[in-house]
Amino acid sequence: MDPAAREQVAPCEPPGSGSLDAIGTGAYTVDEQGYIVAVNARAEQLLARSAPDLVGYDAHELLHRTRYGQPMPRSRCPMRRALLSGRVAQGLGEWFARGDASLLPVAWLLTPYRLDDGRAGMLALFHALPEEGVPRVASSGEAVAVPLSELERLALLAETTTQLTSTLDVDEAMDRLVRLVLPRLADWAVIDLITEGDDVSRALVAHAGDDGPVARVDLQGPLPPVSPRSPMPLSRALRGVASTVVGPETYQSEPDSGIAVEQRRLFTATGMHSAVIAPIRSLREVLGALTLGRSERSDPFTAADLPLLEDITHRTGVALENARLYQRQRKIAETMQRHLLPQLPRVTGLEMTARYEPSPDASQVGGDWYDAFSLGEGITALAIGDVVGHDLDAAAGMAQLRNMLRAYAWSEQRPPSTIVDWLDQATRHISEVTMATLIFARLNAGEAGQWQLTWANAGHPPPLLISADGCGRFLTEAHGILLGARSGRTRRDASVAVPAGSTLVLYTDGLVESPGRSIDEGLERLRRNAGALAARPLESFTDQLLDRVRPADNDDDVALLALRTPGPAG
């Protein structure tokens, strides 16, 4: 809080405290921002804080805590919501942080209240609940857990289902899982996964930290094979046999397998005195195991904790199987797309390279593509395009479009605009492509090292031409409507001489577009960086350009085709 603001609400004698003392329970008032204006003596006693330690402070930040003593997120705080709404509200089972570092379970009521200076505020009334069954924080900082109520168990399972089924990324699902169980159920969470090749990996080891789970990377990594006969708890769980309560003493005897050796190391490194292990199963197979352990909390796990853990791992298994199936489908689509992209031709005197980078989002498989092929007589055909959509249909449509373009370009030596118009008409009748952008160009090798580029553009980002000295310009001529728009307008051609040592860059919109910036900003970023890299060898130029220009928040795939003409003689 601003010191000047605190001076206004925290004079030597807290305003209005006398009137609050007539109230028999704990009471304090806050202004519209939630800063404490006055408290009564009973509130000071219950909170183990004096008035100067309360008045002028944000009530939420100072007092409101979760059942484990952690700061209560504002978005989840019912008292904060009541303050913002300005309406009467009451609740049961909230916790206040006392001055002696203990937690006070309270029942509370908030009601609108006119402060002594006339401002609108709220009056908070609260009284202590019985401490039986409520978590506390011991003077040493040791947390003492209590079993979740049936309502809390159901809420946790519902949240687990919602969180895990809303992602199709395995790593994200594991991260969400540990955030759900730490520190609510345990101090440690360990996830061991069985890969599709039946290898076992300790995929995640996390400890409950002050600001969320903290990964212990040093404890993660590959594990030995699962023993088919070992009676040890983790080996049994990875075979899908049973869930078990374990402790460090479980692994003090002579290890019967490599996994038992790793378990002994885990208990030693984490200091867990009690743990529960349960298999993670899908409908068809065992996917791994979840271990929850306690090191800071003194109370051990018991058999009564196993049903909840098994419910959690059941939901985890369904989510992980869905994520794996989706990633497998994505890998198939991406592999198909890569195989459909062509090998670049070798053209005398011309350097050429291409890149395809899939979307970082596992749910995206796009229709971005490039092509280059010889038309004979010193003519090279170039194409770059993007089929609308992000799925297997888009990838298949890309293949259809490319094959039709090759057929038209090879059989009919016509200007690029004519080829593109024919392709547009064909897509409406003999392909599944609804809309697409495209640049189709012909690069002619003239006499005495002169190169000429002729192209037509169907709604695609403009080519970039960089001279040998790093000056760049976008080839914005011949820009027409995208394929599938059914405009009825014919397209036109444009032509430009390509100087010796120049670099031509054809790219898809994923290189320059992102939610966080405009297309003009992306294009300018591309032009500047391409110019700065013009002296680099073409392979290095292309890799550096992708690295520098592709947006960090990019959610699309990128195709890029780069060509460089021979430098000036002598």
Decide which of 145 and 389 is more confident: 389
The residue that leads in pLDDT, 517 or 363, is 517
Whether 187 is covered by a domain: the verdict is: yes
Which of 133-147, 164-178, 268-282, 379-393 is predicted with the least confidence, judged by mean pLDDT?
133-147
| Residues linked to residue 286 through DSSP beta bridges, in sequence order | 281
495 in the same domain as 377: yes
Does residue 226 fall inside a structural domain?
yes
Q: Which amino acid is at 570?
A: G
CATH number of domain containing 264? 3.30.450.40
Average pLDDT, stretch 241-266? Answer: 88
Please give the average per-residue pLDDT across 474-495, as a whole number: 88
% of the chain beyond a pLDDT of 90? 46
Higher pLDDT, 521 or 18: 521
Q: Are 23 and 40 in contact (CB under 8 A)?
A: yes
Residue 213 and residue 316 in one domain: yes
Q: CA nearest 129: which of 107, 109, 145, 96?
A: 107
User: Please, which pLDDT band fits residue 2 given cuts at 50, 70 and 90?
Assistant: very low
| Structure confidence at residue 334 (pLDDT) | 64
Confidence check: pLDDT of 358 > 80: no
* Alpha-carbon distance values, 514 to 74, 389, 522 (Å): 31, 16, 8
Could you tell me if residue 25 is left (phi over 0), alpha (psi between -120 and 50 degrees) or otherwise beta? beta
Q: Give CA–CA dist 416/485, Å, rounded.
A: 18
Check if the beta carbon of residue 556 is closer than 8 Å to that of residue 519: no
Q: What is the pTM (predicted TM-score) of this model? A: 0.51
Domain edge (last residue) among 80, 115, 143? 143
Q: Is residue 334 part of a domain?
A: no
Residue for token pair 């014919």: 490
How many structural domains does the chain have? 3
C-beta separation of 490 from 511 below 8 A? no
Type of residue at 75:
S
**Over residues 175-192, mean pLDDT:** 92
Of 8-22, 233-247, 310-324, 424-438, where does mean pLDDT reach its minimum?
Answer: 8-22
Closest C-alpha to 296, from 64, 93, 47, 70: 70
Give the domain range for residue 239.
150-329
Average of per-residue pLDDT values in the chain: 84
Would 437 be classed as within a structural domain? yes
Domain CATH number, residue 388: 3.60.40.10
Q: Are residues 391 and 438 located together in one domain of the fold?
A: yes
pLDDT (tens digit per residue) in 506-528: 999 999 988 878 889 999 999 99
Q: pLDDT-based confidence at 140, cuts 50/70/90? A: very low
Are 401 and 498 contained in the same domain? yes
Same domain, 44 and 167: no
Dump pLDDT digits (tens) for 328-353. 776 766 666 566 667 889 888 899 99
Nearest to 337 by CA among 318, 304, 359: 359
Return d(Cα 378, Cα 347) in angstroms, integer. 8
Claim to verify: residue 301 and residue 372 sit in the same structural domain: no
d(CA 163, CA 165): 6
**Angle at Cα 271 formed by Cα 266 and Cα 277, nearest 5°?**
55
Examine the domain organization and report whether 399 and 548 are in the same domain. yes
Show which of 79, 111, 143 is a domain's final residue.
Answer: 143
Same-domain status, 297 and 430: no
Examine the pLDDT at 243 and tell me if it is beyond 80. Answer: yes
Are 359 and 503 in the same domain? yes
27-71 pLDDT, tens digit each: 999 998 899 999 999 999 999 999 999 999 999 999 999 887 888
Give the pLDDT score at 444.
92
Asked if residue 143 lies in contact with residue 296, where contact means CB atoms within 8 angstroms, the answer is yes
Confidence check: pLDDT of 279 > 70:
yes
